[in-house]
């Protein structure tokens, strides 16, 4: 019998009110999907096709809590996001069909090593070191709901001060449009999470900072930045 050389656990996110876990196979992230954030990152927020980067599933921090200040950065940033969990397979579909693939939603943080991201961007290199690192994707339990969220307040506080504030309706590309566009390139399905972008107001955090993210109807994501990882 074939056996694994060492044990590995499958990353998973709790589903609110249920004993079962949502197993995660991929984490897609949409870049600059709010006009205000696109401007603060130096881009023109037109409806050009969305672009994506990914995080490893083991970047997830289900439930939030304390996360270490990331290593090898002097500029760790917060980005609050609506996260969509898929529950049906879709491939090369229209937005109307894509809407039916939604399993539920969660509140997520896309923590970013901004200095490393910008260094890679300026050299035309991938963003992996700036985006995909341990504990860079805190997330609340998923709340079931087959209808895509199209509007609702989204915000982030740092030490009780509002840093980011917007509405899901401000997204350049809606949830069904994102799923449909991404499905042109991937066979999407159960186990896929999509971080849908962040409103303007991103900024640095320091050890000891307390972050509180909210998406209307989905509750709160509380995160404390701990000491630097060692």
pLDDT band at 105 (very low <50, low <70, confident <90, very high): very high
Residue 2: how many other CB atoms lie within 10 Å: 3
Q: What does the block give as tokens for 176?
A: 């069904």
Which residues sit opposite 167 in a β-bridge?
153
pLDDT in tens, 42-62: 666 676 788 999 999 999 999
Nearest to 158 by CA among 111, 195, 193: 111
Give residue 40's pLDDT: 67
Q: Is residue 2 part of a domain?
A: no
List the CATH number of the domain containing 160. Answer: 3.90.850.10
- Flag whether 33 is in a domain: yes
What was the pLDDT predicted at 93?
98
Specify the number of domains making up the chain: 1
Q: Is the pLDDT of residue 35 over 90?
A: no
Identify the burial level of 7 via C-beta atoms within 10 angstroms of its C-beta, where 0-12 means exposed, 13-18 middle and 19 or more buried.
Answer: exposed
* 122 pLDDT higher than 80: yes
Residue 11 is assigned to a structural domain of this protein: no
CA 96 to chain centre: 23
Which tens digit of pLDDT belongs to each residue from 140-198? 999 999 899 999 999 999 999 999 999 999 999 999 999 999 999 999 999 999 999 99
pLDDT of 15 reads: 98
Is 4 inside a domain boundary? no
Across 56-83, average pLDDT: 98
The parent domain of residue 210 ranges over 20-228
Q: Does 223 fall in a domain?
A: yes
Q: What is the mean pLDDT of residues 79-105?
A: 98
Residue 8 maps to a domain: no
Provide the pLDDT for residue 218.
98
Residue 87 lies in a domain: yes
**Distance, CA of 223 to CA of 212 (rounded, Å):** 6
Task: Round to whole Å and give the CA distance between 33 and 51.
Answer: 9
Distance CA 131, CA 137 (A): 9
| Within a domain: 7 | no
pLDDT of 27 higher than 80:
yes
């Amino acid at each position: 019998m074939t056996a694994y050389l060492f044990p590995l656990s499958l990353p998973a996110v709790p589903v609110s009110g249920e004993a079962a876990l949502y197993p995660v196979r991929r984490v897609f992230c949409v870049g600059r999907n709010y006009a205000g954030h696109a401007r603060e990152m130096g881009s023109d927020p037109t409806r050009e096709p969305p672009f994506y980067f990914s995080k490893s599933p083991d970047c997830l921090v289900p439930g939030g809590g304390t996360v270490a200040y990331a290593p090898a950065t002097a500029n760790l940033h917060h980005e609050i996001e609506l996260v969509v969990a898929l529950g049906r397979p879709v491939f090369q579909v229209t937005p109307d069909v894509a809407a039916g693939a939604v399993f539920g939603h969660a509140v997520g943080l896309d923590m970013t090593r901004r200095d490393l991201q910008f260094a890679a961007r300026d050299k035309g290199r991938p963003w992996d070191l700036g985006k995909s690192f341990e504990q860079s994707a805190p997330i609340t339990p998923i709340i079931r709901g087959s209808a895509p969220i199209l509007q609702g307040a989204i915000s982030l506080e740092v030490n009780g001060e509002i840093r980011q504030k917007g509405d899901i309706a401000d997204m350049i590309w809606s949830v069904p449009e994102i799923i449909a566009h991404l499905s042109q390139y991937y066979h999407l399905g159960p186990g896929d999470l999509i971080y849908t972008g962040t409103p303007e107001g991103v900024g640095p955090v320091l050890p000891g900072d307390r972050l509180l993210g909210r998406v209307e109807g989905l509750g709160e994501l509380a995160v404390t930045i701990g000491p630097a990882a060692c």
